[in-house]
């Protein structure tokens, strides 16, 4: 703790000790061994790319050498490649409260959004509005605009707080509301059940983007009566870089799901080689083309990190981590130009805490140089994801201490942290 003044050093030591107590009492601590975390790194960017689960390397090697190399084309049957999208979909479904037969894995989130949003809007012919969040992740907004264009709809950007009012006023015109339960910048968690009810009261359907929710916060798609959802595989699900996304189509909508990208894997008889499209029954119609099997099987292996995990206990640890970081920030970083962007009410918080600071970019670079990996989002957000499967309270206390050091010593002003790189 050299460089801190004496009072700060005492406060940091107290937080360090408190972290040790919390970690000692953590019933999920052993889950960390399900990940291969590099030495010297505290990884707080699992909300952008999850860490490597220990089960993945062997599974991928088997997929490459035995399934592809030796079994070759026979793997479509013998190693169940054909069923991978629905099989892995069911596994993801368990993490988001979806009974079997409602989730398919494959493609990117952007593609799944395009496909599902088209199918969702077609359920409400004659309605002209597609509502989405002006603070939604960019691709969600771009895809909403793209789908609205082809279907002749109008996109209206309505902040979450104003959504119930707009639905009450203009509900009969609304076809779809496309929202995320967690703000990707601030980590604010919205009430999915209440918003779903409000959308339904207007006679519209809801499409949830679960990218920052799946595996991170409790999601009960079936219980709240959600219509559609999409999400990515590479954040809290730790499925690997660009891991395939997933789509949920509630069973009651599947027969009428009239989606955009009618690829042959979604055909009722894909090997009949028919010239016109007849959608498969059930969730299989949400399949599109041939999925990237190596990435799919990596995701499947990664999901075993959740085997036997009590999602309520995981959520409790997550709120403990995020709450503790807020305590740390209050204790160590007060008066240093930070503001907390994330709600203090744990019920309104995802598994992430974001701070704002005018020097966010070089600060995050300086943190990374010190082995604490978070990320930033323009213009001024330092974003830290706390994957409760592998992050400890000691990591959190260390993060706060490093932020104090970087700020007090103005380390972020070092020229080597100023340059912008392609991806932050």
**234 annotated among ligand-binding-site residues:** yes
Binding a copy of itself by CB under 8 A: which of 15, 22, 55, 56?
56
CB atoms closer than 10 angstroms to residue 66 = 12
209 in active site = yes
List binders of a copy of itself among 145-174 (CB under 8 A): 145-146, 150-151, 157
324 in active site = no
Which one of the spans 142-150, 172-180, 196-204, 351-359 is the region binding a copy of itself (CB under 8 A)?
142-150
The set of long-range contacts for 56-61, using a CB threshold of 8 Å and a minimum separation of 24, is 56/240, 56/298, 56/301, 56/302, 58/301, 59/297, 59/298, 59/300, 59/301, 60/294, 60/297, 60/298, 60/301
Q: Are 352 and 342 contacting, i.e. CB atoms less than 8 angstroms apart? A: yes
Q: Give the shortest CB-63-to-a copy of itself separation in angstroms.
A: 8
Instruction: Measure the CA dihedral 147/350/391/327, to 10°.
Output: 150
1 vs 16, 64, 373, CA distance in Å? 11, 47, 20
Q: Give the shortest CB-204-to-a copy of itself separation in angstroms.
A: 21
- Three-state SS string over 100-111 comes to CCCEEECCCHHH
Which one of the spans 6-14, 137-145, 199-207, 319-327 is the region binding a copy of itself (CB under 8 A)?
137-145
386 in active site = no
Binding a copy of itself by CB under 8 A: which of 128, 262, 304, 331?
262
Residue 274, both tokens:
């028919």
Q: Is 64 in the site for a copy of itself (CB under 8 A)?
A: yes
The percent of the chain in helix, strand and coil, each rounded to the nearest 5, is 45, 15, 40
List binders of a copy of itself among 266-305 (CB under 8 A): 267, 270-277, 288-296, 298
Interface mask toward a copy of itself for 9-48; x: CB under 8 A: ---------------------------x-x--x-x-x--x
**76 annotated among ligand-binding-site residues:** no
Which one of the spans 89-97, 351-359, 372-380, 399-407 is the region binding a copy of itself (CB under 8 A)?
372-380
Residues with catalytic annotation? Answer: 137, 209, 234-235, 383
């Amino acid at each position: 703790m050299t460089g801190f003044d004496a009072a700060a050093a005492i406060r940091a030591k107290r937080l360090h000790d408190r972290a040790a107590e919390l970690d000692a009492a953590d019933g999920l601590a052993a889950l960390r061994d399900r990940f291969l975390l590099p030495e010297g790194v505290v990884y707080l960017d699992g909300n952008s790319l999850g860490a490597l689960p220990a089960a993945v390397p062997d599974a991928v090697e088997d997929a490459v050498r035995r399934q592809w190399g030796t079994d070759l084309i026979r793997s479509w049957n013998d190693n169940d490649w054909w069923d991978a999208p629905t099989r892995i979909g069911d596994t993801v479904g368990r993490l988001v409260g979806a009974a079997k037969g409602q989730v398919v894995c494959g493609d990117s989130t952007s593609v799944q959004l395009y496909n599902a949003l088209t199918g969702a809007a077609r359920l409400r012919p004659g309605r002209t509005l597609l509502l989405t969040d002006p603070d939604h992740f960019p691709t969600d907004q771009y895809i909403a605009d793209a789908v609205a264009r082809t279907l002749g709809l109008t996109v209206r950007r309505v902040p979450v707080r104003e959504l119930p009012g707009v639905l009450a006023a203009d509900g009969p015109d609304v076809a779809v509301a496309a929202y995320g339960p967690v703000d990707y910048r601030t980590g604010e968690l919205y009430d999915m059940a209440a918003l779903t009810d409000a959308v339904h009261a207007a006679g519209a359907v809801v499409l949830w983007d679960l990218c920052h929710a799946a595996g991170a916060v409790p999601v009960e798609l079936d219980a709240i009566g959600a219509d559609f959802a999409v999400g990515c595989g590479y954040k809290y699900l730790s499925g690997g870089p660009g891991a395939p996304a997933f789509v949920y189509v509630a069973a009651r909508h599947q027969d009428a799901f009239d989606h955009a990208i009618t690829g042959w894997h979604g055909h009722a008889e894909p090997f009949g080689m028919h010239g016109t499209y007849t959608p498969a029954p059930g969730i299989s119609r949400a399949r599109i083309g041939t999925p990237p099997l190596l990435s799919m099987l990596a995701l499947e292996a990664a999901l075993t990190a959740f085997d036997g995990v009590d999602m309520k206990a995981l959520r409790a640890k997550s709120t403990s981590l995020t709450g503790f970081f807020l305590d740390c920030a209050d204790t160590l970083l007060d008066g240093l130009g930070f503001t907390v962007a994330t709600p203090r009410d744990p019920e309104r918080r995802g598994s992430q805490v974001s701070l704002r600071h005018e020097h966010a970019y070089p600060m995050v670079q300086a943190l990374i140089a010190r082995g604490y990996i978070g990320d930033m989002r323009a213009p001024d957000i330092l974003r830290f994801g706390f994957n409760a499967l592998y992050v400890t309270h000691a990591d959190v206390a260390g993060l706060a201490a490093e932020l104090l050091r970087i700020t007090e010593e103005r380390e972020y002003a070092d020229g080597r942290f100023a340059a912008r790189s392609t991806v932050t």
